[in-house]
């Protein structure tokens, strides 16, 4: 099979998985509390294994934000934060601990401004930075590292070559 077809197919599967996992979190009420945990954010470690995960994560986040009724600026800036994080993860793909820092940092820096200025969150900015960091640390720093370990041990990536 053509490598570009595999790339597009894998990116599409990752985007679809991101949307499904986001919906599950919404149904469980995990994506609407003070500390928001999206299982889909653990997929941010996938650029360590597949470059196709970069557009897949961006499109998945974009679709998730649209389909869950986020405000326009949340759709835009939340998706950009995920894209920045995915690019950073790819850049640090050789070290799994460094690879989780970019998505955590991008979301921790960008999302509080969205919460404050788009949704009018009355909380102090430092509190928003802290709560977004906590949610991202759980999603990417813990769940993402578990996924990374499983991919490293059990994932057969040779089909992409």
The pLDDT value recorded for residue 113 is: 93
The pLDDT value recorded for residue 159 is: 57
In whole angstroms, how far apart are CA 125 and each of 10, 107, 112?
37, 14, 7
The pLDDT value recorded for residue 114 is: 92
The pLDDT value recorded for residue 135 is: 95
The pLDDT value recorded for residue 13 is: 97
The whole-model pTM stands at: 0.91
Low-confidence residues of the chain: pLDDT under 50 = none
The pLDDT value recorded for residue 120 is: 85
**Cβ-count burial 9-45 (b if 16+ within 10 Å, e if not):** ebbeebbebbbebbbebbeeebbeeeebbbbbbbbbb
- Cα distance between residue 14 and residue 35, in whole Å: 24
What domains, with CATH codes, occur in the chain? 3-160 (1.10.1760)
The pLDDT value recorded for residue 34 is: 78
The pLDDT value recorded for residue 121 is: 80
Q: Identify the residue whose tokens are 């009355």.
A: 122
92 burial type by CB count under 10 A (0-12 exposed, 13-18 middle, 19+ buried): middle
In whole angstroms, how far apart are CA 135 and each of 7, 78, 91, 152?
30, 14, 23, 24
Q: Identify the residue whose tokens are 């820096």.
A: 109
Q: How many CA atoms lie within 13 A of 14 on its CB side?
A: 26
The pLDDT value recorded for residue 157 is: 65
Query: What is the H or E stretch that residue 66 is in?
Result: helix 53-67
């Amino acid at each position: 099979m053509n490598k570009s077809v595999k790339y597009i197919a894998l990116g599409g599967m990752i985007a679809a998985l991101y949307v499904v996992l986001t919906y599950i979190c919404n149904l469980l009420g995990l994506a609407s509390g003070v500390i928001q945990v999206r299982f889909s954010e653990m997929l941010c470690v996938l650029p360590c294994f597949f470059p196709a995960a970069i557009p897949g994560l961006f499109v998945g986040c974009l679709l998730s934000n649209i389909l869950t009724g986020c405000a326009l600026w949340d759709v835009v800036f939340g998706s950009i934060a995920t894209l920045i994080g995915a690019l950073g993860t790819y850049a640090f793909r050789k070290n799994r601990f460094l690879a989780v820092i970019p998505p955590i940092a991008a979301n921790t820096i960008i999302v509080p401004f969205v919460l404050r200025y788009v949704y009018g969150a009355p909380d102090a900015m430092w509190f928003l930075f802290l709560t977004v960091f906590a949610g991202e640390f759980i999603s990417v720093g813990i769940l993402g590292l578990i996924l990374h370990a499983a991919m490293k041990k059990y994932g057969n990536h040779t089909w992409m070559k």
